[in-house]
Amino acid sequence: MQTNFNDSQTKINLMRAFAGESQSRMRYYLAALTAQKQFLVGLERMFRFTADQEEHHAQVFYDLLRDAAGEDITINADFPADPFTDLTQLLDAAAKGEEKEFSEVYPDFARIAAEEGFTEIGNKFRMIAEIEDSHKHRFQYYADLMRSDMLFRSKDTTERWMCLNCGHIHTGSEPPQNCPVCGVKQGFYVREAEAPFTSCGIIDQK
Ligand SMILES: [Fe+2]
Ligand SMILES: [Fe+2]
């Protein structure tokens, strides 16, 4: 059954998703600033990277609202006030929010969109839900590293760490306190596998 967009629940759900994504983008940007103040540049970049993705989710949902242009849309939703300074708690809260989007909110919105006959919109909710699941795993990964005090420690003595400032690779169970090449603090180091573009050239092109 095709519902008229302007009478649909999907229109309201899109506005709610837009509000949620816009807030996620801002929350992760603020979390990046918190990490920056603590000289944890790897975490800062991770939050900025994820914030950029949330920005584009917001854009996707906003574009789908074009048929409601000029209208005010009322939404009713809960939005969290996350922990402000404790990065482990902040990462846990972010992971929890992503889990909710992945397992409850967007599957529900996808189902309603399909029932109302908006197949394309339903697919967008489903695909973005999958991305939120990857965000959840990313945040949980860093929360676990923080909790176990392993952000800059590895059980593997041949772990490869990359300086995000100059690209220097250090091998060992811990990255250096200061980069021997460019001098920045340890907070610039991430495991090589966590750094962007590090797998270039490794993938079999055949
Ligand atoms: Fe998102
Ligand atoms: Fe997300």
DSSP one-letter string for the chain: -PPPGGG-HHHHHHHHHHHHHHHHHHHHHHHHHHHHHTT-HHHHHHHHHHHHHHHHHHHHHHHTTGGGTT-------------SS-HHHHHHHHHHHHHHIIIIIHHHHHHHHHHTT-HHHHHHHHHHHHHHHHHHHHHHHHHHHHHTT-TT--S-TT-EEEETTT--EEESSS--SB-TTT--BGGGEEEGGGSTTTTTTTS---
pLDDT range class, residue 206, cuts 50, 70, 90 = low
Q: Which whole number is the average pLDDT over 64-80?
A: 94
pLDDT digits (tens, 9 = 90+) for 128-187: 999 999 999 999 999 999 999 999 999 999 999 999 999 999 999 999 999 999 999 999
pLDDT at 29 over 90: yes
Distance 5 CA to ligand 1 centre (A): 23
pLDDT of residue 200: 79
pLDDT at 203 over 90: no
pLDDT range class, residue 198, cuts 50, 70, 90 = confident
For 18, list phi and psi in degrees, rounded to 5.
Answer: -60, -45
pLDDT of residue 205: 57
Distance 129 CA to ligand 2 centre (A): 8
Which has more pLDDT, 201 or 148? 148
Ligand positioned closest to the Cα atom of 61: 1
pLDDT of residue 202: 66
Contact 117, 3 (CB under 8 A): yes
Nearest by Cα to 110 from 96, 87, 127, 126: 126
Nearest by Cα to 67 from 142, 22, 120: 120
Distance 199 CA to ligand 2 centre (A): 23
Least confident of 12-16, 83-87, 117-121, 175-179: 83-87
The mean of the pLDDT values for the chain is 95
Least confident of 108-112, 124-128, 195-199, 201-205: 201-205
Rounded distance between C-alpha atoms, residue 131 and residue 32, angstroms? 20
Other Cβ atoms less than 10 A from the Cβ of 137: the count is 12
pLDDT of residue 189: 98
Domains and CATH numbers, the chain: 5-147 (1.20.1260.10), 152-206 (2.20.28.10)
pLDDT of residue 186: 98
pLDDT of residue 75: 96
Distance 206 CA to ligand 2 centre (A): 33
pLDDT of residue 159: 98
Rounded distance between C-alpha atoms, residue 3 and residue 117, angstroms? 6
Neighbours of ion ligand 2 (CB under 5 A): 98, 132, 135
Rounded distance between C-alpha atoms, residue 94 and residue 46, angstroms? 13
Beta carbons within 8 Å of 60's beta carbon, 6+ residues apart: 124, 128
